[in-house]
Amino acid sequence: MQNNNKTILVTGCAGFIGSNFVPYFLEKYSNYNLVNLDLLTYAGDLENLKECEANPRYKFIKGDICNRELVEFIFNEYDIQGVIHFAAESHVDNSIKNPGVFVQTNVNGTFTLIDVAYKYWMEKPFTYKKRYGNEALASSSLKDDTKVSFPRFHHISTDEVYGTLSLDPNDLFTEKTPYAPNSPYSASKASSDMIIRAYNETYGLNTVITNCSNNYGPKQHDEKLIPTIIRNALLGNSIPIYGDGKNIRDWLYVLDHCKGIDLVFHNGKTGETYNIGGRNERTNLQIVDRICEILDKEVPLGTGNLFPANQKAEDKSSVPNIKSYEELITFVEDRAGHDRRYAIDATKLENELGWKADENFDTGIVKTIEWYLNKYGIEK
């Protein structure tokens, strides 16, 4: 690690969003060191960060955010001066099967991190230690500052904390939307958001929260919707779609999310929440149809089999003769408590901090499919 740099603790960055954020952040800023704390559970993979392994400004530590002794050691050993907290159990289906793990990681883990940060950075409520500010803070004056030099705790959250929306296209999640989580996952994230808010209001800790819409792009775990569609199509397996396929999500390309996090971490007002959304609403059926359309063009099916014409397979005898990947779509029993629609209003982030998504869904999904084809070694 480079001693003259400010060191930031990032959590869970062997996962999807974090593993896109770390290389982006290291390339953009030469004045930061990053320490990545990740337990490497099912969704974490160090292969996602192979490009960063040799970077002298990057350090990986395998460990649990619930382990207070370890978190305290990291703060003291590396003089942590900021936290960007990605780590979370995040798959709704898994939260329905085993909610306790979500409470432990998302609630207790977040509490451990922010409590250690508060005690490391601050003398008492609203007073930072001399080395981190050397002045007492009034909550009102701190909130009036856009750029804040005091160590900051940035909590990454989700639009699912807001519950579900009507089908009215003008009905959008804003930062003022009341919380109404409907799954164990979203309830655990809502709880963690409240902990962050409490440490800002009660102790004057410099915090920000970002709530994002559905991310997609490179490095996403295989079990998520878009990777599942791509993988199953290429394998010739059924493509499962919940219910009637008309659930709506607002899709955000992961690198656009990373840029939004960067802006809020550096320029967001303390104590504030910022929604990050792609303004790209699609039903699940629209998603699968578009992916199949692209695959039909880029990796056309071989005659009489479901394998690409330029890819070998051991046994093609059991594969039906179809002409399009769309014929693999299979409707399955809907998820329990499946929210009907999410959509984010990102006006606050756009107007106050100048954020704008670079990708729309049509451009982002092409880049995403390209990445997965390369991952699976499939030549077009």
User: Catalytic site residues?
Assistant: 159-160, 185
Q: SS3 helix, strand, coil % of the chain, rounded to 5?
A: 40, 20, 40
Distance between CA atoms of residues 12 and 101, nearest Å: 15
Q: Contact at 8 Å (CB) between 71 and 65?
A: yes
* Packed helices 110-121 and 68-78: angle between N→C axes, nearest 10 degrees: 40
In our burial notation (b when 16+ CB lie closer than 10 A, e otherwise), range 299-317 reads bebeeebbbbeeeeeeeee
Q: Contact at 8 Å (CB) between 10 and 80?
A: no
Helix (H, G, I), strand (E, B) or coil at 15: coil
Q: Retrieve residue 9's tokens.
A: 């603790």
Distance between CA atoms of residues 15 and 8, nearest Å: 17
Where do the H-state alpha helices sit in the chain?
16-28, 68-78, 92-97, 99-102, 110-121, 139-144, 184-203, 225-235, 254-267, 284-298, 347-353, 361-375
Distance between CA atoms of residues 368 and 380, nearest Å: 15
